[in-house]
């Protein structure tokens, strides 16, 4: 696909003196071949008129949540779904705070909350507002959720103060948008199989052996891969998570059911991302009815489940294979052993002994272990982990190193 072809960039403009530079950004993106649409806050219209952007883009400009035409689509949803990249430039401290806390009281912030597109934010504000610890905490929260920031420049500000807060150069903002636009298509035409969640191995119709995996990371990876153009099948154990958009979901309960589903799909997959916590063992016998306390044996005989990832590696199925390792000690060593023994191209490993991270949480800290080295993610949101996994997957599929 040619650069810019069929790619829509939604430009958000908030109320600040730097709003006039958004006109330059819009022109720069249109020159690169992107379709550009603009959404403005009401305050932004005090600095630049919607007519200016309509003239530049030849597209209607969105300002109000309330459409005059009752037959028109729900505006914030239609804008959110159209966008391949959403850039907000300039972005005020107020809008950053709203986004960090999930407030959606105008068309721009509702669109930001509803979109699945990557978000690029170019802040512009007074130096004291920029340096304030609340603003920095809000920025850190958004970064952890995968929002890209184009740092403001330092210099003389419109208010007369000197310091950080000037909108970044238009060329730098455009470069960040272009990078996200390219990423938004980097898995197009690929078939990706993702496993997620834990399996449940029945003892009887009531009880089972299971684990604490929530499936959040696997679901996030499936959603991210689909957003970037891949055809995605997600095979998941029991979870309360909703099906990701544009993903074919196969729900299973046991390791044997997951094994059957994965083997059926793997032959045609370009990549397998095996994030599921598959039970290593299952009861040798399953009670036909609920086993009463008095009849429960003192010991349950277990048999080994098939090792799905190892078999994929031995049979060279699934193309690029990314495994996951949940460990409680010697995390990197165990991950590297898994990398070799299961013929993986990368293993994503984490220490599940920390109750604040891993199972059921929104954030995690992982190691990306490859033949070329190990990278520590630091504590980041699971959506950011999914983004990094897909970045590395795209490079592996293109024959590049994932390090």
Which are the catalytic amino acids?
159
Question: 288: alpha, beta or left, given left = phi > 0 and alpha = psi -120 to 50?
Answer: alpha
| The two three-digit tokens of residue 163, written as one number | 């310091």
Compute the distance between CA of residue 103 and CA of residue 109 in angstroms, rounded to an integer. 7
| SS3 assignment, position 264 | helix
DSSP E strand boundaries for 171-266: 191-196, 201-202, 208-209, 231-236, 247-251
Name the token pair of 186: 């980097």
**DSSP states of 113-140 as a string?**
HH--S-EEEEE---HHHHHSHHHHHHHH
Distance CA 144, CA 121 (A): 13
How many CB atoms are closer than 10 A to CB 20?
A: 14
C-alpha–C-alpha distance, residues 235 and 196, integer Å: 6
Assess contact for 347 and 338: CB atoms under 8 A: yes
211 Cβ contact partners less than 8 Å away, ≥ 6 residues apart:
198, 199, 277, 279
Q: What CA–CA distance (Å, rounded) separates 83 from 87?
A: 10
Please spell the DSSP secondary structure of 371-398, one letter per residue: TTEEEEEEEEEHHHHHHHHHHHHHHHHT
């Amino acid at each position: 696909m040619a650069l810019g072809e069929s790619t829509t960039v939604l430009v958000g403009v908030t109320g600040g003196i730097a709003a006039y530079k958004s006109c330059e950004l819009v022109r720069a993106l249109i020159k690169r071949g992107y379709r550009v649409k603009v959404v403005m806050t009401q305050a932004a219209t005090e600095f630049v008129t919607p007519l200016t952007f309509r003239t530049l883009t030849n597209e209607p400009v969105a300002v109000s949540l309330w459409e005059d035409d009752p037959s028109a689509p729900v505006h914030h949803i239609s804008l959110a779904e159209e966008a391949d990249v959403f850039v907000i430039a300039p972005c005020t401290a107020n809008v950053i705070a709203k986004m960090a806390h999930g407030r959606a009281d105008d068309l721009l912030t509702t669109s930001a909350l509803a979109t699945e597109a990557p978000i690029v934010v170019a802040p512009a504000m007074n130096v004291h507002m920029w340096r304030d610890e609340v603003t920095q905490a809000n920025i850190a929260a958004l970064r952890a959720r995968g929002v890209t920031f184009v740092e403001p420049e330092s210099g003389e500000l419109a208010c007369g103060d000197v310091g950080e807060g000037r909108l970044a150069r238009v060329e730098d903002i455009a470069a960040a948008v272009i990078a996200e636009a390219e990423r938004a298509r980097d898995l197009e035409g690929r078939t990706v199989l993702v496993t997620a969640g834990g399996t449940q191995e029945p003892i009887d119709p009531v009880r089972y052996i299971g684990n604490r995996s929530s499936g959040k990371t696997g679901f996030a990876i499936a959603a991210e891969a689909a957003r970037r153009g891949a055809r995605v099948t997600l095979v998941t154990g029991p979870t309360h998570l909703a099906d990701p958009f544009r993903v074919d979901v196969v729900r299973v309960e046991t390791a044997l059911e997951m094994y059957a589903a994965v083997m059926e799909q793997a032959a045609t997959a370009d990549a397998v991302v095996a994030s599921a916590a598959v039970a290593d063992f299952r009861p040798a016998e399953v009670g036909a009815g609920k086993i009463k306390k008095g009849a429960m044996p003192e010991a349950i005989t277990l048999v080994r489940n098939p090792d799905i990832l190892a078999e994929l590696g031995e049979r060279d199925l699934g193309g690029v294979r990314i495994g996951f390792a949940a460990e409680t000690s010697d995390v990197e060593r165990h991950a590297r052993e898994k990398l070799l023994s299961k013929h993986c191209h990368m293993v994503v490993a984490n220490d599940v002994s920390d109750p604040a991270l891993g199972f059921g949480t929104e954030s995690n800290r992982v190691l990306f272990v490859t033949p070329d080295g190990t990278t520590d993610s630091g504590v980041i949101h699971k959506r950011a982990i999914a983004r990094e996994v897909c970045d590395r997957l795209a490079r592996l599929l293109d024959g590049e190193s994932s390090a």
